[in-house]
Amino acid sequence: MSNHDSGELVGGIDAGGTSFRCILASGPDDIRAEVQFPTTTPEATLEQACAFFRDGPGRAASRIGVACFGPVRVDPQAADWGRILRTTKPGWSGADVAGTLSRATGKPVRLETDVTAAALGEQRWGAARGITSFAYVTVGTGIGAGVISAGRPVRGGLHPEAGHIFVPRAPGDAGFAGVCPIHGDCVEGLASAGAIAARWGQAPDTLPDDHPAWEVEAHYLAHLAATLIVVTASQAVILGGGVSARTGLVGRVAARTAALLGAYLDDLDRPAGPWVLPPGLGLRAGSLGAVAVALAPDPD
């Protein structure tokens, strides 16, 4: 196994369902170029990304890391590696993200889910430095989780889909059906930005800090965090995404998570401090996570 030097210039693509962000950097303190554009059709969007690395400043990159929305095939040994799987994003099911980038730019491409990439970025430069096993959870339009165990991303037949687990209902919330089109009241269906808007009739960013919505939100996210901790033996959960940026929410979730766990995991080897942490990279977790994917050690 060899590590790429931290001074190596690489490309990163934060490939989201709403927008793509392409970056040329060696780390958070050395960002040379950056461009963002809307996610439209696969052909048009991927061509813009390819142009940045083929004809634009990104041509200086030695390799490209992709933090991709999903579901997406992340197993490098799979025949459909790097392709978007069945998705509700119109036109994107089957899109060959990694293959298109590699063929058009001639550069090596690595790809992870957006949340796993953000986790790798947090481990390299952010809140998870020194932590070998943890989960990164993003709460926004959807809820996703990337899990790092003993320093490596967890993947099985697919990638973790922790946003679709079921947790106990918050007090007084039994009448809300949930908004997940598949499961209804999974965590994503109960605690995503869309769920908050549907339950309260307002977008999350219009609700005041003392609105009861945030107690309900803390309940669901704490149950998600506690479940991830006991199932994966995570030493911490990093809570990112637009909804999680609400003032005080991470602290509420951390306190509730500690109460749910009690003293049961006192023997788990972990750094001192809260179980739930805010991200260190903030809104750059996606693009810097993609850079971290590119800089990750070569697979065994």
Q: For residue 71, say if its preceding peptide bond is cis, omega within 30 degrees of 0.
A: yes
* Calpha distance 223→129 (Å, rounded): 24
Do 157 and 98 belong together in one domain?
no
pTM, full prediction: 0.92
Q: Is the torsion defined by CA of 10, 105, 97, 72 positive or negative? A: negative
Gyration radius (Cα) of the chain, Å: 19
140 shares a domain with 113: no
What's residue 209's pLDDT? 96
Q: Are residues 103 and 205 in the same domain?
A: no
111 and 239 inside one domain: no
Tell me: do 112 and 228 sit in the same domain.
no
Residues 35 and 168 in one domain: no
Amino acid identity for residue 271 in this structure: P
**Which tokens go with 206?**
């219009």
At residue 4, the 3 state secondary structure works out as coil
Domains held by the chain: number:
2
> Quick check: helix, strand or coil at residue 184?
strand
Please report, for the domain that includes residue 194, its CATH number: 3.30.420.40
Tell me, yes or no, whether 1 lies in a domain. no
Q: Is 300 part of a structural domain of the chain?
A: no
| Cα(234)–Cα(128) distance, integer angstroms | 11
- Within a domain: 177: yes
Cross-strand pairs, 74: none
Task: Tell me if 69 is assigned to some domain.
Answer: yes
Give me the domain span that covers residue 61.
Answer: 10-118+284-295
Longest dimension (CA), the chain: 56
**CA-to-CA distance for 87 and 77, rounded, in angstroms?**
22
The answer to the question of residue 4 being in a domain is: no
Residues 255 and 193 in one domain: yes
Nearest to 117 by CA among 162, 159, 66: 66
What is the chain's pLDDT, residue by residue, as a tens digit (300 residues)? 334 445 899 999 999 989 999 999 999 999 999 999 999 999 999 999 999 999 999 999 999 999 999 899 999 999 999 999 998 889 999 999 999 999 999 999 999 999 999 999 999 999 999 999 999 999 998 999 999 999 999 987 778 889 999 999 999 999 999 999 999 999 999 999 999 999 999 999 999 999 999 999 999 999 999 999 999 999 999 999 999 999 999 999 999 999 999 988 888 888 889 999 999 998 899 999 999 999 998 765
Task: Indicate whether 96 and 178 sit together in one domain.
Answer: no
User: CA–CA separation, 140 vs 221, rounded Å?
Assistant: 12
Same domain, 142 and 263: yes
Same domain, 178 and 99: no
254 and 267 in a single domain? The answer is yes
160 and 33 co-located in one domain = no
Give domain status of residue 204, yes or no: yes
Instruction: Please report whether residue 30 resides in a domain.
Output: yes
Any domain includes 268: yes
